[in-house]
Amino acid sequence: MNLSDYVKRRNGVPLGDSDSLRNMLSRSLGAGKFSIFWQYWNPIWGFYLGKYIFKPLKLMLPQALSLIITFVVCGFIHDLAIMLLNWKFTLLLTPWFLFMGLSVILSDYAKIDYSKFPWIARAAINTMIISGCLFIAYQVRI
Calculate what percentage of the chain has a pLDDT beyond 70.
99
Query: Secondary structure of the chain: what % helix, strand, coil (to 5)?
Result: 75, 0, 25
Rounded to 10 deg, the angle between the 20-29 and 119-140 helix axes is: 80
pLDDT tens digits for 25-77? 999 999 999 999 999 999 999 999 999 999 999 999 999 999 999 999 999 99
The per-residue pLDDT for 58 is 98
Specify whether the CB–CB gap between 66 and 58 falls below 8 A.
yes
The per-residue pLDDT for 141 is 74
Nearest to 75, CA basis, from 16, 8, 136: 136
pLDDT tens digits for 81-110? 999 999 999 899 999 999 999 999 999 999
**Residue 126 above 80 pLDDT?**
yes
Specify whether the CB–CB gap between 66 and 54 falls below 8 A.
yes
